[in-house]
């Protein structure tokens, strides 16, 4: 799912302050079963994206693509180093549902 980079950055900032976030590809993949959302930066190589995407689908965890670089995702997480992948285990005060609804395709109207 591609979503607005600003919305993801805002969600990450709030989740880092009030929730539980795991940084890094390997750590995120290890904690998938208890994750609510996985976010990957655009700096991830295509083969790495495929690996993370497959793991997320297997674990039924939504995957969001942050349009910025790993440096920008790291900055959003309040870190002075690049972050290619992060996993949100507990959102805290962050509204993951709002982010997921932004990236979800609109449902067609039902006729009565």
What's phi and psi for 51, nearest 5 deg? -65, -45
Residue 29 to residue 39: CA distance in whole angstroms: 11
Burial class (CB in 10 A: 0-12, 13-18, 19+), 73: buried
What does the DSSP assignment read for 68-102?
A: S-HHHHHHHTT-SS--SEEEEEE-TT--HHHHHHH
pLDDT > 70: what percent of the chain? 82
The pLDDT tens digits for 12-51 are 888 888 888 999 999 999 999 999 999 999 999 999 999 9
Task: Give the residue extent of every domain in the chain.
Answer: 5-96
pLDDT at res. 102 = 52
pTM above 0.85, yes or no: no
Residue 73 pLDDT: 92
Angle of the 5-18 helix axis to the 96-103 helix axis, nearest 10: 160
pLDDT for 92: 75
**Please, which pLDDT band fits residue 81 given cuts at 50, 70 and 90?**
very high
In this predicted structure, what is the pLDDT of residue 10?
Answer: 84
* Cα 112 to Cα 110: distance, rounded to the nearest angstrom: 6
**Residue 3 pLDDT level (bands cut at 50, 70, 90):** low
Q: Which fold has domain 5-96?
A: 60s Ribosomal Protein L30; Chain: A; (3.30.1330)
């Amino acid at each position: 799912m591609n979503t607005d980079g600003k919305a993801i950055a805002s969600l990450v900032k709030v989740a880092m302050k009030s929730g539980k976030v795991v940084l890094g590809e390997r750590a995120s993949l290890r904690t998938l079963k208890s994750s609510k959302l996985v976010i990957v930066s655009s700096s991830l190589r295509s083969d790495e994206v495929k690996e993370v995407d497959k793991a997320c689908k297997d674990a039924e965890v939504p995957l969001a693509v942050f349009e910025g670089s790993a440096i920008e995702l790291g900055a959003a997480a309040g870190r002075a180093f690049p972050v290619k992948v992060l996993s949100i285990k507990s959102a805290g005060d962050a509204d993951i549902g709002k982010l997921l609804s932004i990236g979800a395709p609109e449902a067609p109207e039902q006729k009565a």
